Chain A
Amino acid sequence: MRWIWIDKFAEFESGRRAVAIKNVTMAEEHLHDHFPGFPVMPECLMIEAMAQTAGILVGEAAGFREKVVLAKISKAVFFDYVRPGDSLRIEAEITTMAIEAASTSGTITRGDQTIAEIELMFSHVDRNLAGKKFPEENFVFTGTFTGLLRDIALNHKRPVAQPTESG
């Protein structure tokens, strides 16, 4: 199963940049343990939010024909705690797009405050590990994410590529 860690896209410019929103809530069970009496969002889950935002941006740019996997966290710097009730704005931008991979850079903000700066690299896995087989469920674009993009396409009346059923 794939889990969705961002709530919606607020902006989506194909091949260029995307902005997603993630609302943090005390209903997320891990916050009860991280930490008891002092709930803060784990930094790795901020990276996950960026990876989903940027990963969909990269996948859509290639028309969802490539299997996109997170290959490298080039940079991840955090400036403040994120607490339940916070609304995060996750902005990702493609810095380089090549046949076999892409790199992105982005920021996470809360209001006018920068929470994190995160640079990632994504690999188009079939271009790099030709012949190796991976289970389909390892990949993001199996349809679960379609809804996120459908919403933004409807709201902005902008055509956005949709993943095919075969993933």
Chain B
Amino acid sequence: MGMDRDEIFQKIQGVLVDALGVDEDEVTAEATLMGDLGAESIDFLDIVFRLEKAFGIKVPREELFPAESLLNNPELVSNGKLTSKGLAELRERVPHTDLSEFEKNPDLSKLADLFTVNAIVTYIDGRLNA
């Protein structure tokens, strides 16, 4: 019954093509949702809805896009950057995302780059095959 990463990726590609009106070849593993694919906040919810349908699982929005809710907490953000406490919190919330590049300069504007197609694949893979 298991689905391998390639199958998961293809399905997610279809979800993103439908949700964001992009072409299939734009949806690469490294593409960022906001920067490369033009996603806005309502699109994140649309993606969650469509993932739930495509994979038949419940996807809590804060689990898939955990960084969204960090941004407004003054304890975790200072001067447009995540504080060390914020970074720790983020690491805890996104175990499926590679943060090594971001940690060098935890600028909030860079946070958007963390939402990649790959991060979704890893999350779904973890949910289905853990």
Instruction: Give the interface of A toward B (CB within 8 A).
Output: 71-72, 74-75, 95-96, 98, 100-101, 103, 121, 123, 128
A96 to B53, CA, bound (A): 9
* Smallest CB gap from A123: residue in B: B42
* B113 within 8 A of partner (CB): no
Nearest-CB distance from B77 to chain A (Å)? Answer: 18
* Smallest CB gap from B45: residue in A: A101
Instruction: Give the interface of B toward A (CB within 8 A).
Output: 18-19, 41-43, 45-46, 49, 52-53
Nearest-CB distance from B5 to chain A (Å)? Answer: 26
Nearest-CB distance from A124 to chain B (Å)? Answer: 11
Residues on A with beta carbons closer than 8 Å to the beta carbon of B41: 128
Q: Is the interface of B mostly helix, strand, loop or mixed?
A: helix
Partner of B52, one of A74, A96, A100, A121: A96
Partner of A72, one of B18, B43, B52: B43
Residues on B with beta carbons closer than 8 Å to the beta carbon of A128: 41
Nearest-CB distance from B19 to chain A (Å)? Answer: 7
Q: Is the interface of A mostly helix, strand, loop or mixed?
A: strand
A100 to B45, CA, bound (A): 9
A160 to B15, CA, bound (A): 35
Residues on A with beta carbons closer than 8 Å to the beta carbon of B49: 95-96, 98, 103
* Smallest CB gap from A71: residue in B: B42
Residues on A with beta carbons closer than 8 Å to the beta carbon of B46: 72, 74, 103, 121
Residues on A with beta carbons closer than 8 Å to the beta carbon of B42: 71-72, 101, 121, 123
Nearest-CB distance from B126 to chain A (Å)? Answer: 22
A-B CB contact pairs (8 Å), 22 listed: A71-B42, A72-B42, A72-B43, A72-B46, A74-B18, A74-B19, A75-B18, A95-B49, A95-B53, A96-B49, A96-B53, A98-B45, A98-B49, A100-B45, A101-B42, A101-B45, A103-B49, A121-B42, A121-B45, A121-B46, A123-B42, A128-B41
